[in-house]
Homo-oligomer: A and B are copies of this chain.
Amino acid sequence: MADRERPSVGDSLPELAVTPDRYLPHRYAGASGDFNPIHIDAEFAKAVGLPGNILHGLYSMALVARACAAVADGDPRALRRLRVQFRGMGVPEEEITVSGTVRAAEGDRLTVDVVAEQSGNQIIRNAEAELEL
């Protein structure tokens, strides 16, 4: 952060935009060990009433974490606490945008409000991150 101004209350996070590819959930299943078929089997997912196979919630949460860490030049250690509400289902092959606003700044500490949206749905909302810069 030496070269960059520290964010102030009301500042926005740099917006993060990511389009998970068709097989992101399959790779996430492999990495996480969560092979729930709703994530990796579109046919099964439709049979249980979903629009198709859906993203793992923790993947979407990771995008929120990544957007927050951008404030510290991507250093994930800056993220001290993260609270989210999962409010919608993310799907592959549609862009997700994560945006946030600094709500409080005290010394090295920032509190940031964050939202992740996809196709007009807030898939994560009321997210709150604490960062130490």
Contact = CB atoms under 8 A, between A and B. Distances in A.
Interface of A: 22-23, 26-27, 29-31, 33, 35, 37, 40-43
Nearest to A32: B30
Contact of A35 (B26, B33, B37): B26
Contacts of A23: 35, 37, 40-41
Contacts of A29: 26-27, 30
A22 B41 CA distance: 10
A29 B31 CA distance: 10
Nearest to A23: B35
Nearest to A31: B30
Given A23-B37, A30-B31, 16 more contacts: A22-B37, A22-B41, A23-B35, A23-B40, A23-B41, A26-B26, A26-B29, A26-B30, A26-B35, A27-B30, A27-B35, A29-B30, A30-B33, A40-B40, A42-B43, A43-B43
6 contacts: A23-B35, A23-B37, A23-B41, A26-B26, A26-B40, A27-B35
A41 B26 CA distance: 10
7 shortest interchain CB distances as A-B pairs: A30-B30, A26-B40, A23-B35, A26-B35, A29-B30, A27-B35, A26-B26
